[in-house]
Structure 1
């Protein structure tokens, strides 16, 4: 599943933040280890595309 949004908050010390989905719904937790481009730090307000898979068995 793929969803677009904007970074609402980012805690650089802890390496996580939250993305507000463009189409509405609950904020999505984002951990630094999930980023494909780790050469630049995330910036609040930055656009994001989130892609995830359902856990096995769902």
Structure 2
């Protein structure tokens, strides 16, 4: 599950390793596949990317 702001921007996403924790955006960039957002979990330190 992701948190979406009033402007429709994803600002956080659930950590794949700890579903009870939410990761926050640490980076974003445009790629050939679309907008890639990197998230980081403050609990376990995992970073992951999601492409929209």
TM-score of Structure 1 vs Structure 2, range by shorter chain = 0.3 to 0.5
- Report the structure, 1 or 2, having the larger strand content: 2
Which protein is bigger by CA-based radius of gyration?
A: 1
TM-score for the superposition, normalised by structure 1: 0.34
